[in-house]
Amino acid sequence: MEYMKKYEEWINKPYFDEKTKQELEVLKDDKKEIEDRFYKDLEFGTAGLRGVIAAGTNRINIYTVRRATFGLANYIIKNTTEEEKNRGVVIAHDNRHMSREFCMEAANTLAACGIKAYIFDSLRTTPELSFAVRNLHAIAGIVITASHNPTEYNGYKVYWEDGAQVMPHIANAITDEINEIRDYSTIPTLTEENKELVIMLDQKQDTEFIEAVKSKVIRKELIKEVGKDFKIVFTPLCGTGNVPIKRALKEVGFENVVVVKEEEMPDANFAGIDYPNPEDKKALTRGIDLAKEVGADLVIATDPDCDRVGVAVKTTSGEYALLTGNQIGGMLTNYIIEGLKENNKLKENSTLIKTIVTSEFGADIAKANNVDVLNVLTGFKFIGEKIKSFEQNNEKTYMFGYEESYGYLVGTHARDKDGVVAAVLISEMAAYYYSKGLSLYEGLVELYKKYGFFKEETISLTLKGIEGIAKIKDIIAHFRENGIDNVNKVKVVDIKDYAKGIDDLPKAEVLKYFLEDGSWIAVRPSGTEPKLKFYVAVKGETEEMANEKITAIKTYINNTVDKLM
């Protein structure tokens, strides 16, 4: 069996360290675990690696990080000019277990290949990495992070010179280079001669990033007026957002920011939070409790690498509700448009970019204000790609981009979702409503009354291991091969299979069903987790009508999936 052969190699070859060998020795009688660790290589997906931290080819560890980095280095060497190669690679990391070690392994491997590696003195956010790649004119970037995954995970994301995650054609080429590396002991190691190629960055990058964020504020005078009274509770969920967000909020004029103490400092175990995801209300439990205690107007949470932002606001009942990414994105769309109009800065070719699984809430607002809307595939790199195209062709002006999974980018200083600038703009937007005697929640209701009541939910089905991957493929195949003509007697009027490469988009494993009443359902596997996701979006004249529609569709999906399991 091939996986047993690989297991024996890791046990016996001198290249692998004793700690790794001891970890694997313990598994000698657990054939199923050995198979799962060695039956394949940890896949370099659309932008990098993500996996459980452990020994094995199908895990993330110092060896799989070295291999991925050697593959990246070989791609750079073969596909760039000498000048481009000499621009180097910037590396950042979050607070997770082994993040600093993986950062140094990547830096040392690049240097061993003759490529400069810029590193920070400690953890930094993903958006700052994106900014630094552009600011330093580097050829590429790496972030060591598993975003909002549980504590046992870590990951490795690759960025290109424009500051966006690598596009599929580059990711595929890097994958080919990685797959050529079959013997780990052939990976170059750092020598005295090339140690100088690992370069430590100073605080200049931090300051320039924060200045770029501050420049996106729309109503500076408003913040000066209410910044002392408007109270914000913030939690970085033990990740990278603590320093930059507190600094940015303070420097733009928000003086009343209270941080959740238990979740303020970096912690690889996330202060006991099982799933440090700001999309999950459980992750905001301490933040909401603190908000109730101090009477906060707004709760903000960022995920460990600070590219996503979650928001909780006080409702009319006095309780705090977590807003969805679709709601925040729609509200920011409206706020940015109104602010640009107020300052006579809304250009005729201004464009909103969103993903195909993001609701039409923001899109409807944009269209009502004569702002173009462009749909892209899931993954913020596709928004970054469009920004690059806009600038190169001078065809449109990027106004705002977002996706339903709590990722937003205001401005073009970065080319990935930016939790720092989003936290500042969300705070400004909430302060704007506060100045009018409204909560952010009441502002949302006002927009719903004007544009319709939108409601969206995502159903995630977690299926791990070899069997899980097969089951995900089977379920998608069922939906693709068995035509659906109605959902709860509501007619399906259009079906889009993005695997066919439609709408001028790259091929993607996504199916989307459009219903006669304006609702839609999308089905896609997660690109970073062992999950199958069903996205449901509806619109009703009232909140009750929207709730009825979404409940009926969710029941239909759950019943269908139950039959296939």
- Residues forming the active site: 147
Q: Which amino acid is at 155?
A: G
- Is the CB of residue 263 less than 8 Å from the CB of residue 395? no
**SS3 assignment, position 345:** coil
Bridge partner list, 302: 309
In contact, 322 and 309? CB cutoff 8 Å:
no
CA distances from 275 to 5, 281, 283, 419 (A): 35, 10, 7, 18
Could you tell me how many residues make up the chain?
565
Spell out the long-range contacts of 511-518 with Cβ–Cβ below 8 A and sequence spacing 24 or more: 511/476, 511/479, 511/480, 512/356, 512/357, 513/484, 513/487, 515/487, 515/490, 515/491, 516/490, 516/491, 516/492, 517/490, 517/549
The residues pairing with 286 across neighbouring beta strands, listed in sequence order, are none
| Other Cβ atoms within 10 Å of 490 Cβ, number | 16
Question: What residues contact 513, with CB distance under 8 A and at least 6 apart?
Answer: 484, 487, 492, 494, 495, 520, 521, 522
User: Taking Cα atoms as reference points, which of 109, 124, 91, 99 lies closest to residue 199?
Assistant: 91
Alpha-carbon dihedral angle through residues 559, 561, 562, 563, given to the nearest 10 degrees: 90
Buried b (16+ CB within 10 A) or exposed e, 436-459: eeebbbebbeebbeebbbbbbbbb
Sheet harboring 48-52: ordered strands across?
A: 48-52, 153-160, 140-144, 89-93, 117-119, 198-200
Token pair for residue 327?
A: 């709601």
Q: How many CA atoms lie within 13 A of 471 on its CB side?
A: 17
Q: CB neighbours (10 Å) of residue 324?
A: 22
Contacts of 135 (CB under 8 A, 6+ apart): 205, 208, 209
What is the spatial distance between Cα 459 and Cα 339, in angstroms, rounded to a whole number?
35
Cα 537 from Cα 299, distance rounded (Å):
25
Walk across the sheet containing 232-235 and list its strands.
Answer: 257-259, 232-235, 298-302, 309-314, 320-323
